[in-house]
Structure 1
Amino acid sequence: MSSRKGESPEALSKEDLEAMSEFRYRLRRFLRFSEEVTHAAGVTPLQYQLMLQLKGFPGRSWATVGELAERLQAAPNGTAALVSRCESAGLVLRKPGEEDRRQVRVHLTSKGERCLLKLAALHKPEIASFGWVFGKSTELP
């Protein structure tokens, strides 16, 4: 995690704190929704996030474990274990890199893609409720 200098405590207004409180409330509601729908589909929230990061990786449809760890903000060894669990479930597949065979690329399987698309379709309206319009921006408001 990067450290950032925040505003001085005196600079925070009641409105700032209310906005921060609302953000955390909406974020937690979204995460709870996500936990419920992913578990109902037979995967964990982390498995869903891994599949989403694979399919949504900028510029390609695969990623290395290190890249996934960064996108998930997780430790590489924990991400490798998550990839192993997803592989055991038939959701992803490891393949050696084409240029450097020591590099391992993680790809979605057909089963993983079907699961991801089903779950993403459920998540899209929830995300849209935050006011983010899909296809218009790559940044959340």
Structure 2
Amino acid sequence: MTRKAAAPLTKQEFEALSDFRYQLRRFVRFSEDAARGEGMTVQQYLLMLHIRGFPNRNWASVGELAERLQTQQHGVVALVNRCETAGLVVRKANADDRRIVEVHLLPKGERSLNRLALRHRTELESLRNTFRVARITAFNDEGDE
């Protein structure tokens, strides 16, 4: 199977990519500042967000959190330790499989997460009107054999 050479991006596509990365970075910066304003790091906020947002349950394992955070398990263990010390989360052994360590939010973590999530939702709603993403034809699979 030969792959057809991709056409170079147009000026409009470069502008769209640039604008998307700019808006994405603005949102990440907002998130960092919002977390600091709540007295935590953005990683602590993301850990709590992924616990609360894990599909079909209100806890997540260290391995699942490592995947969601795109980091190594030992780094997540250190992050969970800091969040536990801050009274945001608690670890529990899984009732069915004692090898699995569940990470649950504590009431303090739930309150902090709710405040931050509301601020993030408001920021996302304001960004919705500024994001513009052009279709990048260079990555289009059309024409492949």
Secondary structure at the aligned position of 1:116 is classed as: helix
Choose from 86, 94, 97 the match for 2:94: 97
Secondary structure at the aligned position of 1:106 is classed as: strand
Choose from 116, 121, 126 the match for 1:124: 121
1:108 is matched with 105
Report 1 or 2 for greater relative contact order, CA contacts < 8 Å, sequence distance ≥ 6: 2
Q: 1:102: how far off?
A: 1.7
**Residues 28-71 of structure 1, C-alpha deviations (whole Å, 9 max, x = no match):** 11111111111011010000000000001111100000100111
1:138 is matched with none
Task: With the length of structure 1 as denominator, give the TM-score of the two structures.
Answer: 0.84
1:135 is matched with none
Structure 1 segments unaligned to the other structure (5+ residues): 1-6, 133-141
Counterparts of 1:35 and 1:127 in 2: how far apart (Å)? 14
The count of residues paired between Structure 1 and Structure 2 equals 126
Counterparts of 1:43 and 1:118 in 2: how far apart (Å)? 12
Letter in 1 for 2:68: R
Change (3 A) 1:8 1:92: farther
Letter in 1 for 2:54: F
Secondary structure at the aligned position of 2:117 is classed as: helix
| Poorly superposed stretches of 4+, deviation over 3 Å | 7-10
Task: With the length of structure 2 as denominator, give the TM-score of the two structures.
Answer: 0.82
Q: 1:8: how far off?
A: 6.0
Counterparts of 1:8 and 1:80 in 2: how far apart (Å)? 45
Structure 2 segments unaligned to the other structure (5+ residues): 130-145
Secondary structure at the aligned position of 1:48 is classed as: helix
Choose from 84, 87, 93 the match for 2:84: 87
Identity %: 54
Letter in 2 for 1:127: L
